[in-house]
Amino acid sequence: AFRRAPGEEAVSDLPGFETGEWWVQDAAASLPARLMGDVRAKRVADLCAAPGGKTAQLAAAGAHVTAVEISPSRLRRLKENFARLKLEAEFVGSDLMRFEPETPFDAVLLDAPCSSTGTIRRHPDVAYTKDDEEVRKLAEVQARLLGRAADLAARGGMLLFSNCSLDPIEGEDLVRAFLISRTDFHIEPVRPEEVPGLEDAISPEGYLRTTPAMLRRETPEHSGLDGFFAARLRRAS
């Protein structure tokens, strides 16, 4: 049976957790919502939303968030998290491909299901559980989801695509192919001042690509972050 070392506490037992003062989120996972800029009073869709860290960021920043999640159990967890955090959002239990809002959104966040290879520093087994075929299949799913997410963005609106994969097939290659097929979208490059301390994570094209070796601090225990990919896209007006 798992036993905690002396002095270790469950996250739920830490001060402020039950009262909703904070939530758990890897530093890299917090970047996509930050890259959406000032979302106050904007209608924002968070697609594939659970467990809801990015959803909470957007709601706490003042956005009118619509959180879409296909899994009933994950949607239930998302609602429970929001109740604890005392935040508000509209929750929609739906397959993204069948989600039909009445009006398009000012901004859309799609943090897509992926191979999760960026979490290797916390889950070293991931290098042995995902093969090339599975990664390709996941990339195909992401491409379909991205195409649908694009349709939900209003003219002039933002589309932020992200995932925690280290494979370009699920990141740079996928977005390049999307931009060829959707000429009504263009890249809005990430700027160095938006990611202080992670300027090296910005690619020449303006994508964000973090790796577990980045964000070095005083000790190994406090260094590093998940590998993450993010592309900020803008729909033509």
- Radius of gyration from C-alpha coordinates of the chain: 18
User: What letter does residue 66 receive in the DSSP assignment?
Assistant: E
Mean pLDDT, range 48-62, rounded to an integer: 95
pLDDT for position 10: 77
SS3 content of the chain, % helix, strand, coil (to 5): 35, 20, 45
User: Is 139 one of the annotated binding-site residues?
Assistant: no
| Residue with the two structure tokens 């577990």 | 212
User: Is 32 one of the annotated binding-site residues?
Assistant: no
User: Is 52 one of the annotated binding-site residues?
Assistant: yes
| Strands (DSSP E) found in the chain | 43-47, 64-69, 90-93, 105-111, 153-163, 185-187, 208-210, 228-235
User: Is 95 one of the annotated binding-site residues?
Assistant: yes
- Residue 216 makes CB contacts below 8 A (sequence gap 6+) with 223, 224
pLDDT digits (tens, 9 = 90+) for 123-162: 899 988 888 999 999 999 999 999 999 999 999 999 999 9
Residue 79 pLDDT greater than 60, yes or no: yes
- Which residue numbers are catalytic? 164
Residue 22 pLDDT greater than 90, yes or no: no
pLDDT for position 90: 97
Query: How far from the centroid of its chain's Cα atoms is residue 42's Cα?
Result: 18
Structural domains of the chain sorted by starting position, each given as residue range(s) with its CATH number in brackets: 27-235 (3.40.50.150)
User: Is 107 one of the annotated binding-site residues?
Assistant: no
Helix (H, G, I), strand (E, B) or coil at 227: coil
User: Is 50 one of the annotated binding-site residues?
Assistant: yes
| Residue with the two structure tokens 């993450």 | 228
pLDDT range class, residue 14, cuts 50, 70, 90 = confident
